[in-house]
Amino acid sequence: MFLFKKIVSSIATVFVLVLGIWFIVVWYGFSYVPMYGKTKTKCTETTVKVPSGTGIRFLSCCLFKRNLIRNPKILVFLARFTGSAPLLRAGEYQIVNTTTPQKLLNEIITGNTKQRRITFIEGWTFRQVKKALSENPYIQHTINKLNNRKIMESLGDNHNPEGLFFPDTYFFTWGETDLQILHQAHSRMQTVLQKIWKKRSKNLPYKNPYQALIVASLIEKETASPKEYVEISGVILRRLKKSMLLQVDPTILYGLDFPYSRPITKKDLIAPTPYNTYRNHGLPPTPIDMPSYRSIWASVNPDSGNTLYYVARGDGNHVFSNTYRSHRIAIKKYQQRKNDKKSS
């Protein structure tokens, strides 16, 4: 009897050992052996979109149909055995055909999604920002039928949207909305603006950061040369203090809703718009574009010179003058040079 029990115990031990080894082999095969289909002969990458609410069974079938896994049951078994089936995250994933089931699950559980990007350029208007968003195929479009007021209400802001979004490159994943990206850009602008406002020079005529942002937008459009930012800022500051008209040409075109590249006519200069700084004293009511960090910094840290005028030289830079007489001489000089180029 004792011998029989010993034999049974030995058989049971061997059985458990064999079963354990079998389980380890199966587990290794399910978890760590590459799961690509038979037709795959080399390492390739495939983009897979996982919509919100996707279940593990549906995902496995989709991967199988695209020949990314041998058997959909493998992924289903592994996900349920590890308890990760309900933890799948929506998004766009780059699946390598040599990926193991365990690694693939980890990527989808942790949300290791493919990153897309969109860039808002310095000097863009809000109209250009919306156009870039609407033309991006990877963004979920939710603002196309909303007016600007509704868009800003959604962001918790009651200002005109112009200038309130920071120009930069923003990263997002498939399925994110245009409003989410705008929220990023809006928050970034508020952070940058407040940070720079705290480091502003003394005795500025600006009542709040928003007025500084308006000035920054004028600087952004007035010159293509960053080295001139603080000098143009100084001219704007001194003209405001002297109650002089700012006479910033880009404000004319913005008020008329014309492209900035369009030449200004004499009729434009007398157009009765709130943005016409040839007719109206002080700042325009809102920014006229999306200013850069350097423009914002220059708006509250202007140079300490005496210049009140500037004229374009035609090469992206300007000639600055202290008096109207010297300004007229500069205008005549560079206007003549411009005419000479046209006739040559």
CB 228 within 8 A of CB 200: no
Residue 4 forms part of a structural domain: no
**Residue 91: predicted pLDDT:** 84
Is the pTM higher than 0.75? The answer reads yes
| Residue 244 CA from chain centroid, whole number | 37
Residue 23 forms part of a structural domain: no
HEC-encoded secondary structure of 166-214: CCCEEEECCCCEHHHHHHHHHHHHHHHHHHHHCCCCCCCCCCCHHHHHH
* Statement to judge: residues 46 and 170 lie in one domain: no
Residue 250 forms part of a structural domain: yes
Structural domain boundaries enclosing 218: 202-343
* Statement to judge: residues 175 and 258 lie in one domain: no
**pLDDT per residue rounded down to tens, the chain (344 residues):** 555 555 655 565 655 555 444 444 444 454 444 555 444 456 777 888 888 888 889 988 888 888 788 788 888 888 888 888 888 888 888 888 777 878 888 888 888 888 999 999 999 999 999 999 999 999 999 999 999 999 999 999 999 999 999 999 999 998 899 999 999 999 999 999 999 999 999 999 999 999 999 999 999 999 999 999 999 999 999 999 999 999 999 999 999 988 777 888 999 999 999 999 999 999 999 999 999 999 999 999 999 999 999 998 888 899 999 999 999 999 998 876 665 555 44
Listed residues 163, 195, 227: the one ending a domain? 195
* Statement to judge: residues 208 and 296 lie in one domain: yes
What do you get for the CA distance between the two ends of the chain, in Å?
119
**Residue 6: predicted pLDDT:** 58
* Statement to judge: residues 158 and 273 lie in one domain: no
List the CATH number of the domain containing 93: 3.30.1490.480
Residue 26 forms part of a structural domain: no
* Statement to judge: residues 213 and 332 lie in one domain: yes
Residue 158 forms part of a structural domain: yes
* Statement to judge: residues 223 and 326 lie in one domain: yes
Integer Rg of the chain from CA:
32
* Statement to judge: residues 43 and 127 lie in one domain: no
* Statement to judge: residues 246 and 329 lie in one domain: yes
**3-state secondary structure (DSSP) of residue 318:** strand
Residue 175 forms part of a structural domain: yes
**Residue 210: predicted pLDDT:** 98
Residue 239 forms part of a structural domain: yes
Count of domains for the chain:
3
In sequence order, what DSSP letters do the residues of 119-136 get, joined into one string?
EPPTT--HHHHHHHHHT-
CA 252 – CA 270 distance, rounded (Å): 9
Burial 61-81 (b: 16+ CB within 10 A, else e): ebbbeeebbbebebbbbbbee
Neighbour tally for 162: CB within 10 Å: 22
* Statement to judge: residues 215 and 298 lie in one domain: yes
**Residue 23: predicted pLDDT:** 44
Which residue in this structure is represented by tokens 């079938």? 61
CA 22 – CA 28 distance, rounded (Å): 10
CA 188 – CA 143 distance, rounded (Å): 20
* Six-digit token string for 220: 């952004």
CA 122 – CA 297 distance, rounded (Å): 14
Residue 237 forms part of a structural domain: yes
Listed residues 90, 114, 138: the one ending a domain? 114
**Residue 22: predicted pLDDT:** 42
* Statement to judge: residues 247 and 289 lie in one domain: yes
CA 117 – CA 125 distance, rounded (Å): 19
Listed residues 170, 195, 220: the one ending a domain? 195
Which residue in this structure is represented by tokens 């928003």? 210
**3-state secondary structure (DSSP) of residue 309:** strand
